[in-house]
Amino acid sequence: MCCKIEGCNNPIHVKKHGLCSKHYSRLRETGTTDDGSRARKPMEQRFWDKVLKTDGCWEWQGCTSEGYGSINEPGRGGKKWRTHRYSWVLHNGEIPKGDGAHGVVVRHKCDNRLCVNPDHLELGSQSDNVKDMYKRNRR
C-alpha cells in the first residue's frame, strides 16, 4: 500500500495513519504533512540562494570542500557537486568527458575557487590547470 498523500507513491510506514515515513515524520515534527518551510528547495534555487553576485566574481557563500564551493543533489546518495562545475552546467550545458585521469576540468580564469560567474570559467585539461598554477604563481 502507498502513502495516502496525493502524489506520494512511497510505501506506508505507519498503518494507523496511512503515511510513509517522510510524511509521518513531518506530521510528528510540524503538525502537518505539508511541505512548508522545512521542505528542501530545488537544487537550482538552493544554489542561487548562496551566490553573492557582484560586478566581478560571483562568490559562493555556502558549504565548501577543499576550498571549493560544494552543493549536494537532493536525496540519499545524491551527487556532490563543486559549485563552479554546477554553474558551468547551468549556463553552458554538460561538461564533455575528455581524456586523461581527470577528464575535462572547469578552470577559474580569476583564480578564485569560490567564484561561480560563468564569464570567469573555462574548460580545459588538468595539464592546462597546472600550467595556469605555475604561470600565476599559485603553487
Same domain, yes or no, for 29 and 54?
A: no
Same domain, yes or no, for 72 and 86?
A: yes
Same domain, yes or no, for 49 and 113?
A: yes
Same domain, yes or no, for 35 and 63?
A: no
Kindly report the backbone phi and psi dihedral angles of residue 118, in degrees, each rounded to the nearest multiple of 5, phi listed first.
Answer: -60, -25
Same domain, yes or no, for 51 and 11?
A: no
Of the candidates 9, 5, 7, 30, the residue with the CA atom closest to the CA atom of residue 18: 5
- Tell whether the torsion through CA atoms of 70, 120, 123 and 138 is positive or negative: negative
Same domain, yes or no, for 98 and 62?
A: yes
Evaluate whether 69 touches 106 at the Cβ level (below 8 Å). no
Alpha carbons 122 and 79: distance in angstroms, whole number = 22
94-123 per-position pLDDT tens digit: 999 877 667 899 999 999 999 999 999 999
Same domain, yes or no, for 30 and 49?
A: no
19-70 per-position pLDDT tens digit: 888 888 888 777 778 776 656 678 899 899 999 999 999 999 999 999 999 9
Q: Give the structural domain span for 101.
A: 43-135
Same domain, yes or no, for 25 and 53?
A: no
pTM for this prediction: 0.71
Split into its structural domains, the chain has a count of: 2
